[in-house]
Amino acid sequence: MQISCEETGGTMVARVCEDRVDAAVAIHFKERMREIFQKPSERIVLDMSRVDFLDSSGLGAVVAVMKLAGPERRLELAALTPTVEKVFRLTRMDQVFTIHAEVPQAGGDDGR
């Protein structure tokens, strides 16, 4: 599971470099995010612009990562593709996560 990271102004942007987050990669996704959380950052934005498919295991992994972040960090999502956005909307997880249309600029807040 490839996830690239870039830190700008106290915001860690973790870019998922896979087209699917499903049962086959959910465990690897959580492990990689756990590694990313080792770096101090109050705000983590998960860029999902390359993810075209997210199943229930993938959704569960994203929720698990949010819980892993704990109350001291914010995990936000950005640049969801239409099919992934639909999964979040249908499961009402769009009410749980802050979701940005695009990856926010450092320190910016364009949540929907």
The tens digit of pLDDT for each residue in 11-55 reads 999 999 999 999 999 999 999 999 998 888 889 999 999 999 999
For residue 89, tell me if it sits in a domain.
yes
Query: Is the pLDDT score of 109 beyond 60?
Result: no
Count the helix, strand and coil residues of the chain and give each as a percent rounded to the nearest 5.
35, 25, 40
For residue 71, tell me if it sits in a domain.
yes
The angle subtended at Cα 100 by Cα 98 and Cα 106, nearest 5°, is: 100
Q: What is the CATH number of the domain that holds 53?
A: 3.30.750.24
For residue 112, tell me if it sits in a domain.
no
For residue 56, tell me if it sits in a domain.
yes
User: CB within 8 A of 76, min separation 6: which ones?
Assistant: 43, 44, 45, 46, 97, 98, 99, 100, 104, 111
Task: Convert the pLDDT of each residue in 56-78 to its tens digit.
Answer: 999 999 999 999 988 888 899 99
pLDDT band at 10 (very low <50, low <70, confident <90, very high): confident
For residue 110, tell me if it sits in a domain.
no
Domain extent for 46 = 3-100
Residue 112 to residue 110: CA distance in whole angstroms: 7
pLDDT at res. 106: 53
